[in-house]
Structure 1
C-alpha cells in the first residue's frame, strides 16, 4: 500500500479513533512511568494518533513533547483534545523529523505500521541525546495486537509484533535494552542509546 493510501486509511479513522480504542488508564500510566522521564526532559512521541499517551507523559513534567503523526486528521483531533503549551504537534513522517537531542522517544501503539523497522530504529538513534531512551510499547499484549491488526487493519499496513526478545536483539546494535515486557497485559521494549 502506498504511503498516501496509508495516510488516507488513518485519516478516515481519526474521528472515531477514541471511541474504537479504550486503553486501560493504569497501563498507560505504567508506560509513562517506564519511560523514566526526568522533569524538564524533551520528548518525541512517534505516530501520536489522537494523543492517547500525552496526558500521562505530561504528568512526568517534561519541558516539551513533540507529537508527530503523518495523518493530518489524527493531528487535528489531537490538537482539539489537548492544548498544553509544552506540546507541539507536527504532521510529518517520523523519518523526516530533523530535530535532535530528545531525551526520550516513545513509539506507542504504532510499531506494527513501520514497514522498514531498521530505518526507524536508526533514525531514533540519530535524534536521541546521549543516554536518550527509546521505548516501543503497547498497552495490550502482543497476541491481542497481532490478532486485532489482522482483523481490522489491512495486511499491507501492518506487520506482526515480534517477541520482546527478538525486538531486544534488533535494538542491541544501537541501544542497551534494559526493559523487556512481553506479558498478557503489556508489550514494552526499551533501552538507552549506546
Structure 2
C-alpha cells in the first residue's frame, strides 16, 4: 500500500506540468489503437488515464461509455477539466479497488503499465474487469529502450519496473488472455489480447469453491 501512495504522490507532483512535456502524436495514437484492435461501440476502461490524452482518440471509436481512472487525484482532476463528452466518466481511483460487477468490453493501458508493480495481480484484476472475449490493450508511444531509460532515475525507479519484451510480459497475462498482437519496435510497444472464456469458467469455479 505504501508503494501505491508513493506512485500517487509522484504523479500528483508531475500533473500540473505533464501536458507541457507529453504531447500527443495523433497519427501514432490512432494507428496504435487500430493495430491493437480497439472495438467500436464498446464499454471501455481507460486505466491510468493521466490528464486525458486518449480521450479524443477513444471517442473516434464511438464508445458506449468510457470509465477513465487514475491513481493520481491531481491527474484525474485535470483530465476531468478537459473532458467535454458525457460518455466519458473520470474519477480518482485505484485500479485494484474497482468494482468487478461493472465489466468492460475493452481496457486500455497507455504509458502506465510499468507503474503496476505486481504483474500477476494486475493480470488477474484486469481479467476480472473484462467480459469473456473482452480485449485488453497495453501500449506505449515509445520503444522499450526509451521507456526504461525514462524510468531509470532515482525517483522514477521506486514507482516503476522495467518494461520487458512482449514475450516476457505475456507470461502472466497469457494465463487469462489469448495474446494475438505483439509489437516491440524502437518506435512503439503494443501487447493486446482477448479474455479467455475457458479461463473465465475456471476462475469462477475457483471462486465458488473458496466461497
Kindly indicate which of the two structures has a greater share of residues assigned to helix: 2
Moved over 3 A (4+): none
Among candidates 123, 127, 136, match of residue 125 of structure 2? 123
1:46 and 1:107 in contact (8 A); partners too? yes
The higher radius of gyration belongs to: 2
Partner of 2:64: 63
2:36 and 2:190 in contact (8 A); partners too? no
Quote the offset at 1:88 in angstroms: 0.3
d(CA) in 1 for partners of 2:90, 2:149: 30
> Structure 2-normalised TM-score?
0.87
> Structure 1-normalised TM-score?
0.94
User: Structure 1's 38 and 190: CA in aligned 2 closer, same or farther, altered over 3 A?
Assistant: closer
Partner of 1:18: 19
2:3 and 2:159 in contact (8 A); partners too? no
d(CA) in 2 for partners of 1:61, 1:95: 27
Listed as ranges, the gaps of 5+ residues in structure 2 are 197-211
Partner of 1:176: 178
- The CA RMSD measured in Å over matched residues stands at 1.5
Structure 1 residues 5-84: aligned runs within 5 Å: 5-84=6-85
Q: Which moved more, 1:153-162 or 1:33-42?
A: 33-42
Q: Which moved more, 1:17-26 or 1:62-71?
A: 17-26
Q: Aligned residue pairs: how many?
A: 194
Listed as ranges, the gaps of 5+ residues in structure 1 are none
Q: Which moved more, 1:5-14 or 1:22-31?
A: 22-31
Partner of 1:94: 95
* DSSP-derived class of the 1:29 partner: helix
d(CA) in 1 for partners of 2:192, 2:95: 18
